[in-house]
């Protein structure tokens, strides 16, 4: 049997061991939940009321678009007209983009699924890879651009980005990148990052007739022709003996599929990128790196005496040239004739130059470096009062002082830049004494240790180190105390006691920040404030009193705007009827017990099913089983109402997962889990 090279890609486990929930696990769950419900959510917000109101106004303001700057860490506020004008200027480049007549998602999904199914049949993809790569509910990619204020602060051009998270090609792109990355690392002139650039510069003995040169490839990602790009990948794959020929063809087919189906939406219109690859797709850097590697073949031929150093980080080239400037200009002009798609914008100087985040300069026979700060750089470090874990916040200054230590060859430069860094963090609310202490600690470090890559230690799966993960909140300390308090109960479980540590390992994930609240990759010309209720009618559930569901349960015509829940009153914010699909609904038994359910069909259809099951006395579901036991299989006086309309993301996605999550949230909000209500279990699978 042919051996194929496999990756570690696989779906996250959604397994929930219902049959293995012991008394200890159940008790731990109940005790922790009860203690958390007692907590007072009285922590003061780190935003004032006026700040929250301003945030809401910004989010709802149709006249402006807020985006992060392409470089420098700043925030750019553009008029909606200016943003759309620049977007259309980019998209009207007919050599790169073409407008489509309709949404191509359905046809594209079919193509990718056929490709992946063939990969599984041949054995190129194993079962885990196939399940991971085959997205059943993809999102449509969307276009946006980042303003290049470093190019023109008054009228910034845009860097086009395709947001393709969970798109049909996103995981195939990830798979291909996994296979191409090892090849990229073996290419001759590849720079991994700033550290590898410093390591190369440390080897240079500087001479007076040397010239520092940097070149930027103009719009590399969007300028790579598909045919030539594919040929470059094919050429690099030929040297990979551990990848069988059939798998090489499969990789090339996948790249072709991604490139030829690189569609996206902008302002409700659909476009196809017919040249280059989108910034945002996972394999784009590998694709660009290997194309540049092919372009670089024989680049130093007959120039060995002139080219002292040649290295490249994707589209940023660093050279050291020996000789005169006229010869250098001639050489650079020759490079610009090698490939019409590769055009270099070059800068050179005999003493100092900026490259990546470094300023490189010469003194005597040695090259030195220090951190390069762009003119458009802003103080974008996170504020000390931001809603994040304290330990995480406290680690940020230290990591930045270490970066300065690594970049600065000279101690005097470190001291100057460290003082600047200290001032910036002080402006963000960090303690000055702590900053001074951290600065002095890093100053004493051996810089040579900063110039080494850390060895990655591959660890086998150790269940004793498996963490408890939850989203950070201002109640973090209380959460940790509660979990630690009841941890011994969990350790009494016959199976878990063999693998659980004496103390729980608790990790917090980040929460939504201001950026996520006021920026959006999806653009529409007009963001109507309430598209779901444009005429501002009264919201609530409007029961008709006349459909089969209403008549069989004895529900008359009614309007319900609020309903009791564990927090007090639940306000129904939509206009809902017996015929509304995709809703969370509430059943109220004649004895007062409640049940929360979900349906993607019209509500009345689902209620009729409940009624039939009650009348038949079925015991396979908690609602009819309760009515058989307590109400003689009679559905009369069963109240029902829709309480929330679930709308899918405009870009698509998994509706069943979303409605399942909302149902479980309502199960908690209305306290309907058995024995308090008729919901028999909390379905965690929707959140896994």
Mean pLDDT of 216-245: 94
Ranking 142-151, 260-269, 302-311, 467-476 by mean pLDDT, the lowest is 467-476
- CA 573 → CA 363, 561, 565, 577, 581, distances in Å? 69, 8, 15, 13, 15
β-bridge pairing 352-355 and 358-363: antiparallel
Residue 32 neighbours by CB under 8 Å, 6+ apart: 482, 483, 486
| Cα 443 from Cα 418, distance rounded (Å) | 9
Tokens 């798998």 belong to residue:
247
SS3 (DSSP) at 153: coil
User: Which of the pair, 116 or 684, is modelled with greater confidence?
Assistant: 116
Mean pLDDT of 105-117: 97
- Find the angle CA(304)-CA(309)-CA(315) to the nearest 5 degrees: 115
Q: What are the strands of the beta sheet with 352-355, ordered from one edge?
A: 352-355, 358-363, 366-371
The band of 621, judged by pLDDT with boundaries at 50, 70 and 90, is very high
Tens of pLDDT, residues 176-187: 999 999 999 999
User: Which structure tokens are listed for 468?
Assistant: 């408890």
SS3 (DSSP) at 560: strand
Backbone phi, psi, residue 179, to 5°: -85, -25
3-state secondary structure 191-226: CCCHHHHHHHHCCCECCCCEEEEEEEECCHHHHCCH
User: Which structure tokens are listed for 458?
Assistant: 């591959």
The band of 151, judged by pLDDT with boundaries at 50, 70 and 90, is confident
Answer positive or negative: Cα dihedral of 183, 184, 188, 193: negative
| Cα 64 from Cα 84, distance rounded (Å) | 11
SS3 (DSSP) at 87: helix
Tokens 């010309």 belong to residue:
525
Burial of 668 (0-12, 13-18, 19+ CB in 10 A): middle
Of 678, 578, 682, whose CA–CA distance to 631 is shortest?
A: 678
User: Among 16-30, 44-58, 155-169, which range has the highest average pLDDT?
Assistant: 155-169
| Cα 621 from Cα 613, distance rounded (Å) | 8
Buried b (16+ CB within 10 A) or exposed e, 428-467: bebeeeebeebbeebeeeeeeebeeeeeeeeeeeeeeeee
Query: Torsion angle of alpha carbons 247, 252, 258, 260, nearest 10°?
Result: -140
> Does residue 464 have a pLDDT over 70?
no
> Does residue 534 have a pLDDT over 60?
no
Q: What's the pLDDT score for residue 536?
A: 62
Of 517, 21, 530, 6, whose CA–CA distance to 244 is shortest?
A: 6
Q: What's the pLDDT score for residue 473?
A: 83
> Does residue 468 have a pLDDT over 90?
no
Q: What's the pLDDT score for residue 682?
A: 84
User: Which structure tokens are listed for 171?
Assistant: 């995981």
> Does residue 428 have a pLDDT over 50?
yes
Q: What's the pLDDT score for residue 290?
A: 97
3-state secondary structure 288-335: HHHHHHHHCCCCCCCCCCCEEEEEEECCEEEEEEECCHHHHHHHHHHH
User: Which of the pair, 376 or 276, is modelled with greater confidence?
Assistant: 276
- CA 599 → CA 138, 139, 211, 504, 609, distances in Å? 21, 22, 70, 38, 11
| Cα 364 from Cα 375, distance rounded (Å) | 28
User: Which structure tokens are listed for 266?
Assistant: 């902008």
The band of 356, judged by pLDDT with boundaries at 50, 70 and 90, is very high
| Cα 599 from Cα 606, distance rounded (Å) | 7
| In the chain, % of residues over pLDDT 90 | 71
User: Which of the pair, 248 or 517, is modelled with greater confidence?
Assistant: 248
Of 257, 219, 242, whose CA–CA distance to 110 is shortest?
A: 257
Residue 101 neighbours by CB under 8 Å, 6+ apart: none
The band of 150, judged by pLDDT with boundaries at 50, 70 and 90, is confident
419 membership: H or E segment, kind and range: helix 411-427
Mean pLDDT of 662-670: 95
User: Which of the pair, 520 or 115, is modelled with greater confidence?
Assistant: 115
Ranking 98-107, 211-220, 450-459, 621-630 by mean pLDDT, the lowest is 450-459
Torsion-angle region of 470 (φ positive above 0: left; ψ -120 to 50: alpha; else: beta): beta
Backbone phi, psi, residue 316, to 5°: -110, 115
Q: What's the pLDDT score for residue 197?
A: 96
CB atoms within 10 A of CB 628: 18
Mean pLDDT of 499-526: 82
SS3 (DSSP) at 537: coil
Tokens 């947001």 belong to residue:
163
| In the chain, % of residues over pLDDT 70 | 96
> Does residue 461 have a pLDDT over 90?
no
SS3 (DSSP) at 466: coil
Mean pLDDT of 207-225: 95
Ranking 94-103, 351-360, 511-520 by mean pLDDT, the lowest is 511-520
């Amino acid at each position: 049997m042919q051996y194929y090279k496999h990756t570690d890609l696989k779906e996250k486990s959604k397994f929930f061991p219902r049959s293995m929930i012991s008394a200890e696990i159940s008790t731990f769950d109940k005790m922790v939940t009860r203690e958390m419900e007692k907590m007072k959510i009285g922590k003061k917000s780190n935003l004032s009321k006026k700040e929250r109101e301003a945030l809401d106004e910004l989010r709802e303001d149709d006249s402006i678009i807020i985006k992060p700057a392409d470089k420098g860490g700043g925030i750019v506020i553009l008029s909606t007209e200016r943003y759309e004008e620049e977007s259309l200027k980019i998209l009207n480049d007919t050599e790169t983009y073409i407008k489509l007549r309709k949404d191509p998602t359905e046809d594209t999904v079919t193509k990718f699924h056929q490709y992946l199914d063939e990969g599984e049949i041949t054995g190129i993809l194993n079962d885990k890879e196939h399940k991971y790569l085959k997205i059943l509910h993809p999102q449509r990619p969307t276009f946006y651009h980042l303003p290049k204020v470093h190019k023109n602060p008054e009228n910034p051009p845009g860097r086009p980005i395709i947001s393709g998270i969970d798109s049909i090609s996103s995981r195939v792109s990830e798979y291909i990148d996994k296979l191409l990355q090892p090849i990229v690392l073996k290419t001759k002139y590849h720079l991994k990052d700033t550290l590898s650039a410093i390591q190369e510069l440390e080897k240079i003995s500087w001479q007076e007739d040397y010239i520092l040169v940097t070149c930027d490839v103009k719009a590399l990602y969007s300028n790579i022709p598909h045919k030539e790009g594919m040929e470059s990948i094919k050429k690099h794959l030929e040297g990979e003996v551990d990848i069988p020929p059939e798998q090489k063809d499969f990789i090339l087919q996948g790249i072709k599929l991604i490139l030829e189906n690189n569609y996206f939406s902008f302002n409700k219109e659909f476009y196809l990128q017919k040249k280059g690859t989108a910034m945002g797709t996972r394999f784009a850097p590998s694709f660009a790196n290997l194309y540049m590697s092919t372009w670089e073949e024989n680049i130093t031929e007959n120039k060995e005496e002139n080219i002292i150093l040649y290295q490249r980080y994707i589209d940023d080239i660093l050279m050291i040239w020996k000789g005169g400037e006229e010869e250098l200009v001639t050489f650079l002009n020759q490079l610009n004739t090698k490939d019409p798609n590769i055009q270099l914008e070059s800068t050179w100087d005999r003493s100092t130059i900026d490259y990546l985040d470094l300023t490189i300069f010469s003194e005597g026979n040695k090259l030195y470096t220090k951190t390069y700060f762009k003119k458009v750089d802003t103080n974008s470090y996170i504020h000390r009062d931001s809603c994040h874990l304290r330990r995480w916040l406290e680690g940020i200054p230290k990591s930045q002082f270490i970066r300065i230590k690594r970049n600065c060859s000279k101690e005097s430069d470190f001291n100057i830049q460290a003082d600047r860094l200290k001032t910036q963090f002080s402006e963000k609310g960090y303690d000055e004494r702590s900053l001074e202490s951290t600065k002095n600690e890093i100053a004493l470090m051996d810089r040579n240790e900063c110039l080494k890559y850390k060895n990655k230690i591959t660890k086998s799966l150790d269940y004793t180190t498996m963490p408890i993960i939850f989203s950070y909140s201002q109640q973090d300390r209380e959460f940790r105390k509660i979990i630690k308090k009841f941890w011994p109960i969990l350790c009494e479980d016959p199976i878990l006691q063999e693998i659980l540590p004496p103390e729980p390992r608790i990790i917090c994930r980040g929460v939504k920040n201001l950026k996520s609240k006021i920026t959006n990759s999806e653009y529409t010309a007009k963001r109507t404030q309430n598209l779901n209720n444009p005429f501002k009618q009264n919201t609530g559930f409007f029961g008709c009193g006349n459909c089969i569901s209403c008549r069989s349960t004895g529900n008359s015509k009614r309007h319900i705007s609020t309903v009791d829940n564990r927090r007090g009153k639940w306000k129904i914010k939509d206009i809902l009827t017996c015929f509304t699909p995709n809703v969370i609904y509430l059943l109220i038994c004649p004895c007062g017990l409640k049940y929360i359910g979900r349906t993607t069909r019209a509500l009345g259809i689902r209620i009729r099913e409940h009624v039939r099951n009650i009348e038949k006395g079925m015991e396979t579901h908690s609602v009819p089983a309760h009515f058989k036991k307590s109400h003689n299989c009679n559905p009369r006086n069963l109240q029902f109402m829709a309480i929330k309309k679930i709308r899918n993301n405009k870009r698509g996605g998994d509706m069943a997962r979303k409605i399942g999550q909302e149902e479980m949230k309502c199960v908690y909000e209305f306290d309907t889990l058995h024995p308090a209500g008729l919901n028999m279990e909390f379905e965690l699978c929707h959140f896994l």
